[in-house]
Each structure stands twice: as C-alpha cells, then as structure tokens.
A and B are shown apart, each in its own frame.
Chain A
C-alpha cells in the first residue's frame, strides 16, 4: 500500500517535472492570475479581455471558486489576486491588502407578476426566515412564499446574511441555487419566488423591489439611499507584483471603471 502510493507519487512527480519544462514559457513576468468570487468573475473576464487587448503579450487568467477560496489562493500563492465579493473580516483585513474595485447593489428580486413592489428589511428577513409564508402578509396576492437562497460560502449569500438576516437564519426549506443566473431563471418562472442577486445582473424579466423606500438604482446606491450594497474587492498579499499592479491600475482607471459601470456595477469612487 505504502509502496504503491510512493510509486504513484514518484510517477506523478516525474510527469510533473517533464511538464514543468514544457510549460516554462509561461513563467514570464507578464502573467496575472485571479481567483475567487463567482460574482466578480464575469466582470473580471471582461476587464481581462480589454486589458490584454490594450497590452499585447500580457496574460490574465481568471478562475472562479468563491470569495473565501480566493483569499486562500492568495494566501498560499496559487493566485496573484483574490476576488472577494464581501467585506473582509477583521482578521482578513490584517492579513491582506484590500483594493475596492467597485460596489454592487444587492437586489431583492420577485416574479414579474408579483404585485409587491417595496419591502422593509424587517419584512425581507421574515420572508427568508420562513416566518412570513404568504404573500398576502406583505401586501401581495394570496399564495405561498418560496425563498431562494445561494449556497453556503457564496459572497452574495454572506453579504445578504450580513446586510439583512443578521443573527437570524435563512429557512432550511429555502431552495438553494448555485449562481445568479439560476436564481434569476427560477424567479422568472415561479410567481411565488423571492430571491436576492447582484443588482447589475437583474435585467428586465424580473422585478427588483424597493428596500426601505429606496428604488434599487445606481444613483440611489451612489447617494447611499439604497443600503443593500456590498464591496467588490481585489485582494493581494503584501504589495502586488508589478504585473498584477499594472492590471489593478487599469481596473481603477476611468476606462476600467467605465467598463464596470457598463456591466451594471457602481464605481468605486
């Protein structure tokens, strides 16, 4: 057993050694790798595309995996930049360099046929906790409420829990979907559904309710009237490498920020 494991490992190392040579060309100083939040991933892909177009010869590799995975990847050197779609904890703030690249509203979304157009945070919390189970109780039509949540560990979920749920727990009967798109599809088809997702990705087929009287618009986010807002962060360990810094500079430049705004985000400053 130990022997075969050793043999396997030896075989693996040999193959690895051979292939590292094959991949030598990759280790140039112009390569940046990003890993983390699947909420930021799409935007980072767009930024990377424009950046490599403007800077031929540079490579930007973008991977998903989730906010926490992104922090870990930066910590153990798997990635140059971590993407994090939630606020850092106190400990994480000590550990990493935090770069705010944009802000994102968290939209509370309902089916297009749902009459409910505004909710207080308290009501949203009750709907997701399963304390309010009929839409009539919040001014809608008679019918069950089906909350849809994201999977544990998603930055969107963590932000939602922090901004809305507080100490209360999301109902265990809530449907769990693994992406903004899947939440949107479900809300689109189910009149009973209520979900939360990135404001930039809501589109026109479903409704986003006003929260505490403020419509979920970019202007209201900028003015601080719409309060369900989370930061989208790049995170590095210590100072970023020159290649990574060059990419970050592009993201924070007016051109980069305009790209993000075009995708529905709210600029960093």
Chain B
C-alpha cells in the first residue's frame, strides 16, 4: 500500500508538532515543578539571612552574595578581553591564518567541558598561583569559560553594524579607533550586552567548575580570597545531602528566577539591537 504524499506529510508534520509540544511541556514542567515547591518558601528573611545548621534553617544571603561576586567578577574580567578580541577580529585585521587560529581556539575553548575548566582552575589558579579555593579562583575560571561566548556574540554584533556607518565616520576624518569606539561599538552595544547577559546566566548556573575552584564555605566571604558557595552549589548540596528539601527548592527557585530574568533581559536587548541596526 502506498501512502499518498499528502497523508505522509500530515503524519510527519503531526509527529513533529508532537515533539515540539513535548519539548515545551518538559520546559514548563521543570519550571513549574521547582517554582511550585520552592516559591512559597522564598521570603524576605530567606533572602536576607545567613543559613544556620548547614542550611537546614535560615536563609541564603551569603550564597546570593557569593554568586553575584563570582559570576559578576567573571564577566567583568571576560567582557573587556572578549570584546577587544572581537574588535581585533572584525576591525583590525583581514581574514587570514592568524584569525583562523584565533577563531579555532575560541571554538575549541567553547567546547571544553566545565569539569575540565574546574580541574584547570584548581591546579592553576587555586594551587599554582596560590589563590586557594576562593571567589577569585572561581571567577577567573568562569571568565575563561564564558570568554568564547562573549567573543562570538560580540563579533556577530559588530559585523551586523552596516558598513556605511564606518564609511561616514571615516569620511568625517575619524581615525579607525575613534570609529570603533564612537560608531561601531556604540551601535553594537545591545548585541554585545546580549552575549554578556548570556554569559552571566551561564556563570550563575555553573556548578562543576565552581565546586572545584570556589569551594563550598557557608559563611559570607570577607575578601576575594575567601571561599564562597554559589546558589547552584548550595542547591546541589542541600538536595544531595538531604539537609532540607524545602530550602533546596526555595534556593532553586531563586536560581530559576534569576535565569528567567536574565533571559528576558537578553531577549529584550536582542530585539532592541535588531531594531537598531535594522536587520
């Protein structure tokens, strides 16, 4: 029996829509599962207090601070390096062997698993450079990890800026550097920010690399050389050690909300960027 093309199309498309529906059902399920269990326990005091009895009671303030420090510092270090690399690749050189090497390096770096970054950060930053398990070791490790994302998104954003903008700037007598700073980067900022926001999100969610480099101390870090536990790691420890499921869910809810907020922000930035450079 031969199936008519129209029927096979109907079956195939129906099947693919079903796959799409399952995917979104899974997404909604994961978010709802965590938020439904956790959100009721996210109170002001939970967000502002220190944990007691290993996190069985009390809040998650030190972890919020630790997460902001580790992820923020990571992006602070990676963003200038990443954007400068992108500027070099797009504005200061022609495609050649050198750019190919840089791009290949960035692509490979992007594929390195986080546990490898963790191993490296542990032997290099924590031990060889003597930073110990600390906010600093963790953030430098993460900076290296998110660097390729920032390079790639910045490069795309810079390339999307119409060439005419640059010609006008050159025509007005600007140097290349002035053009890059005042024209190209200014137009590309929303696009670049998208990459930075995404990197921030990735740093916040990372666990394996942070576990090996930033350690798991519960206290508020007093300097960048103190160990600090991030939200993701705190959630992992609470849930795995079975210390407190309520607090584990609540911590995960805070994490999920932060990720949601960053995703919305990056989406908004992206739309603004597209509107601006008129793609």
Spell out A's residues near B (CB within 8 Å): 9, 12-13, 15-16, 19-20, 22-23, 25-26, 38, 41-42, 45-46, 49, 59, 61-64, 78, 178-182, 184-185, 201
Contact = CB atoms under 8 A, between A and B. Distances in A.
A42 B130 contact: no
28 contacts: A12-B125, A15-B136, A16-B129, A16-B136, A19-B223, A19-B224, A22-B223, A23-B223, A23-B225, A25-B223, A38-B241, A42-B241, A42-B243, A45-B54, A46-B53, A61-B219, A61-B226, A63-B133, A63-B215, A63-B216, A64-B216, A179-B241, A180-B241, A180-B242, A181-B241, A181-B242, A184-B242, A185-B242
B227 interface: yes
Nearest to A9: B129
Contacts of A41: 54
A181 B243 contact: yes
Interface in B211-248: 215-219, 222-227, 239-243
A181 to B, nearest CB: 3
Given A12-B125, A15-B136, A45-B54, A22 B224 contact: yes
Contacts of A63: 133, 215-217, 227
Contacts of B216: 63-64
Nearest to B222: A26
A210 B238 CA distance: 29
B198 interface: no
A23 B218 contact: no
A264 B131 CA distance: 36
A93 B67 CA distance: 39
The secondary structure that dominates the A interface is: helix
Given A20-B225, A23-B226, A26-B225, A49 B242 contact: no
B241 A16 contact: no
A49 B224 contact: no
Contacts of B241: 38, 42, 179-182
Contacts of A178: 240
Contacts of B239: 181
B129 A26 contact: no
Contacts of A26: 222-223, 225-226
B129 A78 contact: no
Contacts of B118: none
A49 B129 contact: no
Contacts of B215: 63
B240 A23 contact: no
A23 to B, nearest CB: 3
B45 interface: no
A23 B222 CA distance: 7
A185 B216 CA distance: 22
A164 B227 CA distance: 36
A207 to B, nearest CB: 16
Contact of A49 (B53, B132, B226): B53
B52 interface: yes
Interface in B228-279: 239-243
Contacts of B53: 45-46, 49
A45 B129 CA distance: 29
A20 B219 CA distance: 19
Given A19-B224, A181-B241, A181-B243, A78 B132 contact: yes
A46 B54 contact: yes
A223 B136 CA distance: 49
Nearest 8 A/B pairs, CB to CB:
A181-B242, A23-B223, A181-B241, A12-B129, A45-B54, A23-B225, A42-B54, A179-B240
Contacts of A45: 53-54, 218
A13 B129 contact: yes
Contacts of A19: 136, 223-225
Contacts of B125: 12
Contacts of A20: 225
A24 B52 CA distance: 27
B80 to A, nearest CB: 13
Contact of B52 (A25, A49, A59): A49
A63 B229 CA distance: 10
